[in-house]
Every structure is written in structure tokens, then in C-alpha cells.
């Protein structure tokens, strides 16, 4: 029995859900999301609640049960409140700017790096903080990971693009290692 899978998802005010076969469509103030699930998962929408159950009791069915419920919960949260990830630029001369739906990053390369925002994703820049927001949790996380991958933070000076709450483990440089070495 899945502890997560058996919990009902309560739909907030202004959110509608519809289950047809193994697909779920969730509509709310922030947009519409549709996702297909495994045939082993049964999804029912009744009285403002979404119930997720499984057809069989085999290992595969039990393993997809809780995951399917968590994905549907993420869809409901996304269309009602939305998801966001924040990234920070750390480094001298590192800049980010928005032109239309395109993010232009100047992060120490010989050329600016451009990243297109897909439909449903909003990019904003304030000083050195980039905010990625949207209704689809998976897409928000993937776009944030793509931005971070342009220049991941390095361990010596901490320069690069990092998540706002990320802690970069710092390493000692060459000079610090030779302090205790004997001199000839």
C-alpha cells in the first residue's frame, strides 16, 4: 500500500480536473496541463477530489502509484499557484538581460549565450537574480537546469550561475596547500 498514492488530492477553488482513460487534464488560473499515465494507474475525479488507485498488486503497479499521485498534485499546484526557481549570477562582469522571450547571458565566454523560453515559461531578471516561473513543474526545473549548465559554479572562487539557495563547497587553492610544506 502506497502511503502517498492513497491520499486524495483536494482541488482548490478555481481549479477543474478531468480524467479520460489514463490521461489527466487540469485547468486553473495559470493555464492548462495534460499528462498521460501508465495503464496500471486508475484516476477518478469526484466531488472536488482526485483519487489515484492501481489495477493490480504487482511490483510495477505499486511503484508507479505514488509517483503518479505526486505528478498530479504538482499539476494542481502549478495551475493554481505556479512554480518558480531562482538562480544567481556570481562573478565580476556576469550579466543577464531579457529581450522578448530570450534570455541573453554574458558569463565570461567570447560570445553571449542565448536561451529561448518555451511557451508557458516566464523569465525575469532583477540585478543578478534570474527567476524562472510557470505552471509546469518539470519544465520550470529543466529550463533552470539549462541556465545553470551554461556556467556552473566553480569551487575555487565560487563564480558561475547557481541556484539562490545552493551552497557551493569551496576548495583551498594552490597557495594554501604549500603553507605546511618544508622548504629546502
Give the residue from 52, 80, 108 where a domain finishes: 80
Residue 119 lies in domain: 83-163
Whose CA is closest to 29, among 89, 102, 79? Answer: 79
CB 71 within 8 A of CB 47: no
In degrees and rounded to multiples of 5, residue 61 shows phi and psi of -60, -45
Whether 1 has a pLDDT exceeding 70, the answer reads no
Claim to verify: residue 70 and residue 103 sit in the same structural domain? no
Whether 95 has a pLDDT exceeding 60, the answer reads yes
pTM to 2 decimal places = 0.86
Give the residue from 37, 55, 80 where a domain finishes: 80
Whether 184 has a pLDDT exceeding 80, the answer reads no
Predicted pLDDT of residue 180: 57
**Rounded mean pLDDT of 131-155?**
96
Measured CA distances, 172 to 144, 156, 166, 178 (Å)? 29, 7, 19, 11
60: confidence class by pLDDT, cuts 50, 70, 90: confident
* In-domain check, residue 2: no
Claim to verify: residue 53 and residue 87 sit in the same structural domain? no
Number of domains in the chain: 2
Give the residue from 34, 64, 80 where a domain finishes: 80
Amino acid at each position: 500500500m502506497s502511503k502517498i498514492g492513497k491520499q486524495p488530492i483536494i482541488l482548490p477553488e478555481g481549479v477543474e480536473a478531468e480524467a479520460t482513460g489514463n490521461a489527466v487534464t487540469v485547468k486553473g488560473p495559470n493555464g492548462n496541463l495534460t499528462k498521460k499515465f501508465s495503464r496500471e494507474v486508475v484516476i477518478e475525479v469526484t466531488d472536488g477530489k482526485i483519487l489515484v488507485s492501481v489495477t493490480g498488486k504487482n511490483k510495477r503497479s505499486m511503484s508507479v502509484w505514488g509517483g503518479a499521485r505526486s505528478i498530479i498534485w504538482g499539476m494542481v499546484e502549478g495551475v493554481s499557484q505556479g512554480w518558480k526557481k531562482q538562480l544567481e549570477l556570481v562573478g565580476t562582469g556576469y550579466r543577464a538581460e531579457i529581450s522578448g522571450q530570450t534570455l541573453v547571458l554574458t558569463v565570461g565566454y567570447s560570445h553571449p549565450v542565448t536561451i529561448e523560453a518555451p511557451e508557458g515559461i516566464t523569465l525575469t531578471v532583477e540585478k543578478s537574480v534570474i527567476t524562472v516561473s510557470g505552471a509546469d513543474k518539470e519544465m520550470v526545473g529543466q529550463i533552470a537546469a539549462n541556465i545553470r549548465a551554461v556556467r556552473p559554479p566553480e569551487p575555487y572562487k565560487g563564480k558561475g550561475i547557481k541556484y539562490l539557495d545552493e551552497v557551493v563547497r569551496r576548495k583551498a587553492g594552490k597557495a594554501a596547500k604549500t603553507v605546511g610544506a618544508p622548504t629546502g
